[in-house]
Chain A
Amino acid sequence: MSKMDQTMRDKLSQLVEELTTSGEPQLNQDKMKEVKKLCKVSTDYVDHFYHLIMTQLNQEHAEIRLSAFQMVSEIFSRSHHFRDLLITNFQEFLELTVETDTEQPLPPPKEVARKLRTLAIQTVQSWHATYGEAYKKLSLGYHFLKQIKKVDFHDVEARTLAERKRQEEKQKRLERIYKEKLEKAKQEMEEMTTEIEETLTEINNCIKLLATDDLNLFNEEAAVSKTSAAAENIPDQPCCSKDLSNEQNGEMTEKKKDEGQTDKCSDESDTEEVPDEDAFLRSTGLMSYKYQLELNVSTDLKLRETEENEALVNTVRDLHRLITTRHLPLVQSWIQVFTKVGVEEELMRTATELKKSLEHALRKHDFLHIDYKNRERRVMRAPEDEEDDDDDFVDVPEKEGYEPHIPEHLRTEYGLDETPSTSTSGAKAKPSKPVVKHPVPRVSSSLSLLKRKMHDEEQDPTCAAATLRVLKQRLCSTPSTSLSGSSTGVTVSSSDQAGISKDEASVKAPVIPFGVDLYYWGEEQLTAGKIIKNASQHQFWVPHEVEEEVVNEELSAEMKSRYITFAGEFKPVEHKCKAPMPNGSLCERQDRVKCPFHGPIIPRDELGRPVNPEDALRLEKEKRKREEDQPDWRDPELMREIEAATGEDLGSSKLYGKGKNANKGKSKKKYPNLTDLKQNASTSRSRLEKKVFNKSSMRRVTEVMNKMDKRKHEKFSNQFNYALN
């Protein structure tokens, strides 16, 4: 020590402190060079440096330790004396840098600590490689790390035993969970496979049934559009290619009928059909040169639900839902589990096959384009059908023009269009063929058909056709009711006819809900507002001066009057508050009269300044006043005290910045570059703890609990079994 120059010694100490408290991941090279220069002078300095470094390594801060460690490794490679010193105390060194002692974990911050450990382990390895031969204790330390502490030097992560154990445990836990999942999935699979397969066969069969049905018959609509250049008189006849071939092979007459049945959506009328037939007959004979067929086969089928396939479609629908909501997610989850766990191929294959077939079924189903809308409405309507009929026509005499089944040939007489879509008529015409109902705005089309024939009849209000027209008009407004049911309902008696005049009046009159005033409309109600008092229930004896009836004016008025709230019309607010806000923007609030933050809304310009000078003056005055009477609880001294006590920023520094800053300057941190360890303590838990465990709240809680105890004692003190506790 005597050999050492005091100034140089001090300089060394200072350099070490500066370097270790820099908080940076790398050492300052210039300063480090200085240190090396000093240490080179004599071993005494190395001694001194060693002691300084060991004190720094003992600091409870990972950043200090990391920097110190870096310095150690710099000097270690240079000075034999330092190596001697360090290796003599190698155990402590390892404890401080590699965390060999579990009771002495590396200090926070965690990130830096991990880095330190990694670096230390790597460095020890390299030291061992270089100096292990010469320094016995170093190699012992290396073996100690390797064999006892199970440090894997090849592990890049340089994980310690504990860490690896944790990892292993985690892995194990995950594996266990996966195994459980796998077992569960397997079991589920066993249980569910048969069910799923059943569902699959079911839906496949259903689809097959539906599809074949549709192929053989008529549901593949719009599959073919036929354009004929020569045969103009033949209207477009949508029919499928199969139909065509059938038709060609089959009888012509038969085919005509077929068309009559199948072309539901065509606007053909019966009257027009007659010449068509001839033309068609003729043209079919000359088909070879007259037709130019352009087959436009659209690949997607469109399936409509009918009564015939209703059951099928229902099943398909249910199955579809079952598959999409239940089976498919289930199978997918199995596959997920299997892929994660890595299971035998057999299971995996079955699972994937199941999934594939399910998806295939779904695709097929989508391909069919089954129109459920129709059916859904039917379902809703089906029970209502009769009721509706009852409601609408309950006052109609049973027999007077009403016939549930009107023969086809009589329909025109009855003022009805021919409704080929009714199942009854369809069935009659061609019972061998199921008929599809198309949701065509059929009523309106039939109306147009009827126009010519029925025009005069409609003028006569006594005729059934007139009533029908009214009804149809009403139905047109609600096209959803245009189904077979309506056609039967259409046949109404002629006696119901007040419709037209009422309609005209109802356009002008306001519609109000029915009330008591309407009930007594135009009548003088004598009893209204009178209350009859039956004071005495006695049989014979009656008190003489009892007034039996009390007229309540209010009540009687209520009977005759109606309150109609007049709300006025809503006018949206178009102005904005536009008061300037601290962030520079303008207030966007659109209050009608007063902004809750900026007071009454006054006209302002784009910069938020009041347009009217008196407004500006008023605002200015208010502002000054507000500034003047700062509430006395915001006394700066008090605020500062509270802040100091609670550690929370109440904004006193913002208001009284200068006074506060002066205080802060004194309490500057010693090492500003280091990570503040105490700062980390501000977790949600610690904040909660601060709240929950602060003195006043604890006191409050104990008080309340004491009170409760006391109350119990007071209440039951006279009972011996409560008195004791």
Chain B
Amino acid sequence: MMNESRRGFVGKAFGAVAAVGGVASLLAMKMTWDPLPSAMSAGFTKVDLSGLEANKLEIAVWRGKPIFILKYTEDMKPVDGRTVKVGDHYYSVMIGLCTHLGCIPAYNTGEKDFTCACHGGSFTLAGVNSFGPPPRPLDLPPFKIDGTTLVLGEEGPEYKAMMAKA
């Protein structure tokens, strides 16, 4: 009996130590696959909006994705929840990947809309899907307005207001 319970105790103690070690090493292994600090810090992109031309699409790169920045002319109408005002001008800021299968739509300066060459989807200048297979408007990237600088990757009050309306 004495021997049995001793063996049982040793077994349980070993099991407990092994379990703690196992969980700790799993956590360490999980963390080796987390994005590296350099990848995390590259997760913010700054764009100066002051030099942009109206009705000409600017494409910035943020986290490997194309970001459409479109400055509106006088006759382009802002859309509530999709257009942001910086200074005196309105802008569309959105992720330039078709919500159908992730192709990059092209901007038509004449018609003032976007068409996707892959499966024929269309979006208005504010990125609202207007024709074809795309199931929803172009996604909005989290952004913050800092003077005339657009900071992509950080959630500012303008972004939160837009998300609340969307």
Tell whether A and B belong to one assembly: no
